[in-house]
Every structure is written in structure tokens, then in C-alpha cells.
Structure 1
Amino acid sequence: MLKNWIKTVVLAASLMGASSAFALTEGKDFKALSKPMPVAVAGKQEVIEFFWYGCPHCFSVEPAIEAWAAKLPKDVNLRRVHVMWDGRNDMEGHAKIFLALQTLGLDGKHQKAVMKAVQADRIELRNEAKLFEWVKSQGIDVAKFKAAYNGFSTNAQLKNLATMTRDYQIDGVPTFIVNGKWVTSPSMVGANDANFTKILDELIAKDRAAPKKK
């Protein structure tokens, strides 16, 4: 009798788990990219987060994304890309901060800190004097940061950000690309920030379940 009761509990739990999954609707929860794009690391699942340090919603969603990213399996690669829209010179200073931190391998570690400085503390990090002062306060080597920030390759990297923004047809942020195939965002889904990460999980699972090309 006890064994039957245990089976019943296990079955009920599995059904609850299944019912908690999102039934994704294309066109509502996500849409397909018009042109599939390659992932950065072959053999890995990929999620790209397009963002802007000056975007309030990017700041609000970041704690949920960081908590989600900390639990990702090893075969899922999260990439962050600072958006660069044509004609938006106000973004260039923020994008250079992202590129400098990325060059130093510090972009992930300081992602939330930069957003807090811009969004909550209202520090104008596009002003270089204030930026370098803030960099020092974060314990970052200022000389190394300046070298990366003003590096010869920075302009080429800025152009690459602009190219990616166009190629992925990013018209708002935050926007997420899953496995170079699907695009979604909290505004598209209409979900709060914590629930939105479940959409990402479902799209990753969708790709895992898809038949693999031989």
C-alpha cells in the first residue's frame, strides 16, 4: 500500500512539473529570425542578450538574468552584446565601456555595477574623467582600462557591434537570441522578469529536442 502511495505522489509531482512548462506560441512568445545565424561556440547552446547600459528595462531585468545565468548547464553559452544603433552617438561611450571591460575579461563581473552607476547612481560614465574615477573605485587597473578603452581596435569593435545589431534586426532592448534561430524579449512575452527566464529555458529545450542534422 505504501509503495502505491509513493508511486501516486511521484506521478503527481511529475504531472505538476509538466504543467508548469510554458506552451510557447510562435509570434507571441518568440519569433524566428529571418536569417538563422551561427553560434559563437560550436556544439554549445547559445543565448545572446542585446542590451544598453542606458536602458532602464535592461537594468531591471539584469538581476533575474544573472540568477538564471548562474545556474546554466555547461553546454549553454550566454553572450552579452551592447547594442549600437546607427545614428545613435549617445550609445558610443557606453559601448566603449563594454568593449574595454570585455577586453580585460571583466564585462560579466561588472555588468550590474555599470548599470547601477548609470541607472541608479546617475553617474555620467560617458564623461571620461568621471568614468576613470569610477573605474578606480571598482578596483580596476585604470591604466589597463584606458589602454583598452582607447585601443586601436576599438573603432573596429564598435563597427562590429553595429553590424550585429543590424544583422540580428534588433529594434529594442533587452532582446534575446536563442541558438541563432529565435528572438524573444520581456516586452514581447508580456511576462515579468523572473518568469521571462522560463521562456529562455523552453526555447533551449525546444532546440535540444529538435532532430539533429546528420
Structure 2
Amino acid sequence: MKKVFALLIGLFLLPLSVQAADFKEGTHYDVIKQTATEKPEVLEFFSFYCPHCFKFEPLMKNLEQELPADVTVKKSHVNFLGGAMADEVTKAYAAADLLDVKEEVTSIIFDQIHVQRKAINNEQDILDIFAKAGISEKEAKGALASFPVNGMAAQMKRNTETFKVRGVPTLIVNGKYKVNTGSVKSTKEFTELVTFLTKKTD
């Protein structure tokens, strides 16, 4: 898997000259559910502790810019990486979403873990991250302990179980199709594949 994602990230810098591919089930994507969501969506399963997810961020940001306006892009943090702090970091992501500082907190956490090589060991470390994003300790504590955040964290855990996610990053499109990222050869083809799947329901 490491080789696959290293290759994919390397391809992010290649010229976007690939022609639209003939995407095939079993090669470029797998059907994992019988029915699709009513509205087009892309759900990325990730972990702040995953180096591949950190490197995958530029691809996802590019994808969000390229997808049609009616496609919703969501993220679901998994709890099977991170040890004792996995649940708390998932709640931190949910709280960041609730407080509308999701992008800021995501950037800070990824940088702290993968660039600074600094661990997140306790609640104070999480509160310090929110402080860097402009959120007071009182506000952050309130959000982390709130019913909506606990509900969002529980939903992310259910998402992981529902789609039987065992590795990250994993992309599920329209609740039905799992993207085989190792099958694509460029950023353009990756975007075309995901776009193709957002329009597919059969």
C-alpha cells in the first residue's frame, strides 16, 4: 500500500494530459453497496496519524475544486490508528467542524504529527491546537463535551463499520463505490474517475 500511495502522490505533479479513461468495475472501482445515496457525495476516510492521508491532502483539495458544485465532499476520521488518543482526536475533528475551524485544525494537527513529529498526548495538547486555531480553551472544552460532537464522533465510527474500512485513505463515492486509487496514473485521471462515479448510480 505504501508503494501505491507513494506513486499516487508522485503523480500529483505530472502534466495533466491523460485522456479520459474507460473506467471499469473491479479495476478502477468496486461496488460495495446495492443502492447509492440520493445526492452525489464523496466520503473520505482518513486518520491524522496516517502519513498517506497527510500526503493525500493536496489531491483531495484539488478534487474538491474540480468536482461539480452539486457534489458534497465529506471526511470521516477513523479510530483504528492513534492508540489511546484515537477517540479524542476524532472528537477534536468533530469539534473543529462544529466550531467552523475544520480547515485550520486539520492543517495544524497534520503539521504537528507529520512535520514537527510532535505527539498529541492528552486533552491539553488538543486544547493548545484549538488555541492556535483561534478558539479559547473554554469554547473548545464546551464543544468537545457537547452532545453534537459526541454524536458526530459516533457517526464517524459507524461509517467505518458500515463500509468495513480497514485502511486509509479510502474514498467512497455515492455510498456505493469504493475508489481503487492505485489504478489511476495522474491527478487528472483521479479527478475524472471520482467525477465519473459521482454521476453513476447503477
Tell me the TM-score normalised to structure 1 length: 0.74
Q: How does 1:181-196 map to 2 (within 5 A)?
A: 181-186=176-181, 189-191=182-184, 195=186
User: Partners of 1:206 and 1:133 in 2: how far apart?
Assistant: 39
After superposition, the C-alpha distances for 1:140-196 in whole angstroms (9 at most, x for unaligned) are 33321121112244444332221111111111100001111100243xx2547xx35
RMSD of aligned residue pairs (Cα, Å): 2.9
Structure 1: gaps (5+ residues): 1-16
User: Partners of 1:179 and 1:146 in 2: how far apart?
Assistant: 34
Is the Cα contact below 8 Å between 1:124 and 1:131 reproduced in 2?
Answer: no
User: Partners of 2:147 and 2:176 in 1: how far apart?
Assistant: 33
**2:134 aligned residue:** 139
After superposition, the C-alpha distances for 1:58-80 in whole angstroms (9 at most, x for unaligned) are 00110121122133321111001
**2:175 aligned residue:** 180
Structure 2: gaps (5+ residues): 1-15
Q: Is 1:111–2:100 an aligned residue pair? A: no
Q: Structure 1 residue 20: deviation in Å?
A: 0.8
91, 99, 102: which is aligned to 1:96?
Answer: 91
Q: 1:200 to 1:19 in 2, by over 3 A?
A: closer
**% of aligned pairs identical?**
24
Is the Cα contact below 8 Å between 1:84 and 1:95 reproduced in 2?
Answer: yes
**1:6 aligned residue:** none
Point out which structure has higher relative CO (alpha carbons under 8 A, 6+ apart): 2
Is the Cα contact below 8 Å between 1:177 and 1:183 reproduced in 2?
Answer: yes
Aligned residues: 187
User: Partners of 1:52 and 1:96 in 2: how far apart?
Assistant: 12
**1:12 aligned residue:** none
**2:33 aligned residue:** 34
